[in-house]
Amino acid sequence: MRGIFMRKFLGNIHKGMTLAELLIVFVIMGIIATMTMVSIKPSEKSFKYVYNRVYNAIGTAFYNSAINISDDLKNDPDMKNGFPESAELFCKVLLEYINTKEGTDHTCSNNTVNINNPVFSNDKVQFVASNSVKFWIGHTDVAGKYSTYSGIDSTNSNYTIKYHIVFADLNGELGPNSAIPHGNGMADIVGFIVTEDFEVVPIGVPETDPRYVVARVVYSTIETGSGTSSEQDMSPTMSVLEAKRRAWGTPGRMYISSNEPLSMNFYDGGKIYSTSPFWIDYNSPKYSAIMNKNADNPCRKTPPPPDPSAPEPPPPTIEVEPDACYVTIQDFY
């Protein structure tokens, strides 16, 4: 009886996992965890890649339109001196050179998004690019119409420029479909200003966050004495905001050139207000480390660190006139 009881009792006990089996389970869990990390981390890299593609696509479209544009668009009543004044025509110029996704509607209209109270609804999407990026056109005061920026440059000359606003959802339908970053995350809807000279200016969070885009200050080859364009004539890569500060100084003391839209503070005179998720407060404490560094020395080229083995002292700091340098957006590969 005892033997029968023991066999029945032991027969109900489930066999445990061996050490080897446990190790296999842990290895599988580790692989899954690694795959999860890899699938999340590259989102920063992919955002920078797509952001750069969108930036270049917009700039290339309008550069090409200045050289070769269809007669229908050229003769449109809203085309004034080569600049499309209505949002609808502006959108059509983009579509001349940006491929759209098959099976999607791309009817350009004056149904635009107010940058100061944006609602990125599907009924306002102008078109979807072949890489699934959604595009909206924005406005400040009047829907469907270009905006203006007025100011006084550093020669005390008044100027006014026209511009359009473009919004792009970098990852299409994947979400969060928001222009507001959450925590350390990245907003997937970004904005650009396109001036009447077809200069493309990053606005909003990407201007301050190098995870989206980086820039360099390019110094004059004449002033630096090198005679050629080389890495020595460029600053290291940095955020667009820091590059602007290094080139032209800080807001309030900023050297503003009417020929350099990147030097302009569109949050001040461009009718982008603090209610907008694309508004940047240059005086915010979070940017003080950038804005206060060499604040009174715009366009100064920092000398290289001293070489202990060099027989002569390092060259002095090279002063460059503000008009002799500019900011360039760095391509991402």
Q: pLDDT by residue (tens digit) across 31-79? A: 654 443 333 333 667 888 899 999 999 998 888 887 788 888 888 999 8
Task: Give the 3-state secondary structure percentages of the chain, helix then strand then coil, rounded to 5.
Answer: 35, 20, 45
Residue 189 confidence (pLDDT): 94
Mean pLDDT, the chain, as a whole number? 77
* Cβ atoms of residues 179 and 244 within 8 Å: no
Coil/strand/helix, residue 111 = coil
Cα 138 versus chain centre, distance:
16
* Crossing angle for the helix pair 42-67 and 19-40, to the nearest 10 degrees: 30
Coil/strand/helix, residue 316 = coil
Cα 169 versus chain centre, distance:
12
Residue 87 confidence (pLDDT): 94
User: Residue range 109-114: average pLDDT?
Assistant: 94
- Per-residue model confidence as pLDDT tens digits over 242-270: 888 888 876 655 667 767 888 888 887 66
- Per-residue model confidence as pLDDT tens digits over 264-280: 888 876 688 888 999 98
- Per-residue model confidence as pLDDT tens digits over 139-195: 998 999 999 988 877 777 888 899 999 999 998 877 788 898 876 678 899 999 999
Residue 110 confidence (pLDDT): 94
Confidence of residue 14 (pLDDT cuts 50, 70, 90): very low
Q: How many CB atoms lie within 10 A of CB 109?
A: 14
Alpha helices in 41-178 (DSSP H): 42-67, 71-74, 87-97
Q: Is the pLDDT at 3 greater than 80, yes or no?
A: no
Burial of 129 (0-12, 13-18, 19+ CB in 10 A): buried
Residue 198 confidence (pLDDT): 84
Phi-psi region of 219 (alpha: psi -120 to 50; beta: other; left: phi over 0): beta
For 223-261, give the secondary structure using H, E and C. Answer: HHCCCCCCHHHECCCECHHHHHHHHHCCCCCCCCCCCCH
Give the whole-number percent of the chain exceeding pLDDT 70. 69
| Range in 77-81, 93-97, 109-113, 221-225 with the lowest mean pLDDT | 221-225
| Range in 119-128, 283-292, 304-313 with the lowest mean pLDDT | 304-313
Residue 201 confidence (pLDDT): 93
Residue extents of the structural domains in the chain: 41-329
| Range in 87-101, 111-125, 254-268 with the lowest mean pLDDT | 254-268
């957006």: which residue's tokens? 329
Confidence of residue 223 (pLDDT cuts 50, 70, 90): very low
Give the C-alpha distances (Å, rounded to integers) separating 145 from 114, 119, 135, 245.
11, 17, 16, 31
Residue 5 confidence (pLDDT): 41
Handedness of CA 169, 208, 180, 46 (dihedral sign): positive
Burial of 211 (0-12, 13-18, 19+ CB in 10 A): middle
- The single-letter code of the amino acid at 132 is S
Burial of 43 (0-12, 13-18, 19+ CB in 10 A): middle
